[in-house]
Structure 1
Amino acid sequence: MNGTQIAAILPDFLDPGRLWLLLVVVALGAGYVASLAWRKGAQVRFTQVDLLDRVAPQRPRWRRHLIAALQLLGLALAVIAIARPVEHTSERTKSEGRILVLFDVSLSMEATDVAPNRLEAAKEAARNFIDEVDDDVEIGLVSFAGVVRVQVEPTLDRERVIRRVDDLELDEATAIGDAIIVSTDLLTDAADAQSDEPGQDSDLAPGAIVLLTDGETTVGRTTAEGAAVAAEAGVPVFTIAFGTPDGFISDPISGEIFPVPVAPEELEIVAESTGGQAYEAQSGDALADAYDEVSNSLGDTLGEEIEITKELTWRWALAAFILLTVAWSLSLWWLRGMV
């Protein structure tokens, strides 16, 4: 067992300086061993061994050693309790750990300027992002084209979210403003429901939005209107403008070419006005990197994990008490009338 493994087993201590008392336990153990050696020599010099065997044929032998070992172990555990052992854990408040991924499924996502096309590359990056988010953070999925659809409300079920990402299909138009508003309402409703639970802080941010799109709003409320609603609710929006300026799609019937360049300008305003961050990705790898940056930034928005220190003194003290009680009881039972 190496030093790292030992460190993982041993607890941390509030007063580690008190562990020097373990030297007293070691000294007692050494004294016990020395007394056995002295006692054995004294018996040989001054005692008729045959007579001792007749008078006390049931000497304690190994039982005496077991009792001494239990006593020493009990004292060692008591010293550990005196040093006040602790364990450190961390947790994130549930109302802080909620993310909605807004996924653009407008027809422009069919452009092949990102291999194999924007939609499939975006799906792959979204799956990886969902897998990397901390297990205690809820994730929801909202898709939008001309209509906004809540595919999955915030949940810890990663597989369910990924399945819905795989099933996304393209549709006409782009309603970014409506998508932000629907997602903000979803987050605030979830936060309001949870704030009624005992011990929940109603002032915490409802969650965060990660918006992936390649275009501009063409129907519904404007992108700026959506950003204003999110900002008022305290919901940061992290935007990813996905695609290149040279993207295009073609009409499968007429063959007519339609340019669909990425439009990051409005998304930058959304991120700035809501307290999020804006990213641009012109390839699948760049999109994956953008998701990584979003994941790293979410800690600042969702709140740092709270470290909880739990003192374990009572556990070690109880273990010491039990061992010493057992040793005392065995001494009364095994050693009565014995030398």
Structure 2
Amino acid sequence: MNFLWPQFLWLALALPVLVLLYLWLLRRKKKMAIRYASLSIVRDAMGVGQSVRRHIPPLLFLLAMATLVIAAARPLAVVMLPSNQQTIVLAMDVSGSMRAADVQPNRLAAAQNAAKSFLKELPRTVKVGVVAFAGSAQVAQLPTTNREDLVTAIDSFQLQRGTATGNGLVMALSTLFPDAGIGIDDFAPKSMQRGTPIEQAGKDTKKDFVPVTPGSYTSAAIIMLTDGQRTTGVDPLDAAKMAADRGVRVYTVGVGTVDGETIGFEGWSMRVRLDEDTLKAIANKTQAEYFYAGTAEDLKKVYETLSSRLTVEKKETEISALFALGAAALMLLSAGLSLLWFNRIL
């Protein structure tokens, strides 16, 4: 346990002094007491229980003082608190391989159902955006708190060819930071970037971006779901580095077959294989986690887990108020027992 004001812990040295003072008062009281012919008569009259009781209120008072000393030092502890996560972007794979039925009723339908259940679990104050990616990436729904609009966007997914996981991640980042000028062109050679030389010079003169610690941006997160390998577009690890430099966590979810499966789509036959290594690397680079979902039930559990992870988080926070409350309770108990047993306070 850490303390904001550890110097106040020196007050604990006063506790032994209080103990010595209590023992001195007991001894003084014994000397002033009326002497009986036989002390055994007094002991028999008081009983063992009565003798023990007389020390309980002072002991509780001493514990209360020790607790107050800790409270004065302003202790810190890591506790679970509501997250300040305000925006979550779902980047969902809508490539042709998502029609595979190894996840019932098929991968896409299972992903849609799980995503809609995920929306129900989130607090209404959290904004959610939706990005769909296949051979390219598009924003299906800008971040909003309107759950009906989000459900409509998720239900409107159309399967397409190709898997550009990197593009989906870049589009999700662009959705989170609309004024940052993030785009696919950022990953192209300068000679191939769009715009006139004057426009490109203008980009170069913009204030340089300063990377932050990966995972440090707690106001937003990205959840990327895919079932295949990248076949086109931006390298997903390059896109992950862009997310890491902005402190955004990217939670990755892999669905379908790890070993690979041949699937037909629009007259084409394709071999799809889940690229777990890349998905794990994306999650690790951004200080997030990777989840594998082999069935529809697994996928639902993954989203339930993500919902709980994104709505609460571990934080180091001051808990001096809890110690102060505990000290007050101990003092009240001490005074109450003393009044009940001896008709006096201590």
d(CA) in 2 for partners of 1:130 and 1:304? Answer: 28
Matched, 1:292 2:304: yes
Alignment-derived partner of residue 145 in structure 1:
134
Alignment-derived partner of residue 205 in structure 1:
218
| Contact 1:114-1:283 at 8 Å conserved across structures | yes
Match of 1:273 among 285, 310, 313: 285
Work out the percentage of aligned pairs sharing the same amino acid: 32
Structure 2 CA distance for partners of 1:300 and 1:229, relative to 1, 3 Å: farther
Report Cα offsets for 1:232-285 as digits up to 9, x if no partner: 0110000000112353312554xx643322221100000000011100001100
Alignment-derived partner of residue 173 in structure 1:
162
Alignment-derived partner of residue 313 in structure 1:
none
109-118 or 294-303, larger mean C-alpha shift: 294-303
SS of the residue 1:227 aligns to: helix
291-300 or 270-279, larger mean C-alpha shift: 291-300
d(CA) in 2 for partners of 1:178 and 1:306? Answer: 42
Match of 1:131 among 120, 132, 138: 120
| Contact 1:247-1:262 at 8 Å conserved across structures | no
Structure 2 CA distance for partners of 1:300 and 1:233, relative to 1, 3 Å: farther
d(CA) in 1 for partners of 2:305 and 2:117? Answer: 13
Alignment-derived partner of residue 236 in structure 1:
249
d(CA) in 2 for partners of 1:139 and 1:303? Answer: 23
TM-score normalised by L of structure 2: 0.54
Letter in 2 for 1:275: Q
Structure 2 CA distance for partners of 1:217 and 1:129, relative to 1, 3 Å: same
Matched, 1:187 2:171: no
Letter in 1 for 2:234: R
Superposed displacement of residue 114, structure 1: 1.2
Report Cα offsets for 1:55-92 as digits up to 9, x if no partner: xxxxxxxxxxxxxxxxxxxxxxxxxxxxxxxxxxx986
TM-score normalised by L of structure 1: 0.55
Q: Which runs of 4+ in 1 moved over 2 A?
A: 90-93, 188-192, 203-206, 245-248, 256-259, 299-307
d(CA) in 2 for partners of 1:179 and 1:219? Answer: 11
Alignment-derived partner of residue 90 in structure 2:
101
d(CA) in 2 for partners of 1:185 and 1:169? Answer: 22
Alignment-derived partner of residue 248 in structure 1:
262
Alignment-derived partner of residue 116 in structure 1:
105
Structure 2 CA distance for partners of 1:301 and 1:185, relative to 1, 3 Å: farther
Alignment-derived partner of residue 206 in structure 2:
none
Consecutive unaligned residues of structure 2, counting only runs of 5 or more, are: 1-80, 182-215, 322-346
d(CA) in 2 for partners of 1:154 and 1:281? Answer: 25
SS of the residue 1:211 aligns to: strand
Superposed displacement of residue 305, structure 1: 12
Match of 2:237 among 193, 213, 224: 224
d(CA) in 2 for partners of 1:160 and 1:304? Answer: 36
Superposed displacement of residue 158, structure 1: 0.6
Return the index of the structure with the highest Cα Rg: 1
Alignment-derived partner of residue 271 in structure 2:
259
Superposed displacement of residue 137, structure 1: 0.6
Report Cα offsets for 1:15-47 as digits up to 9, x if no partner: xxxxxxxxxxxxxxxxxxxxxxxxxxxxxxxxx
d(CA) in 1 for partners of 2:245 and 2:164? Answer: 20
C-alpha RMSD over aligned residues = 2.9
Structure 2 CA distance for partners of 1:135 and 1:249, relative to 1, 3 Å: same
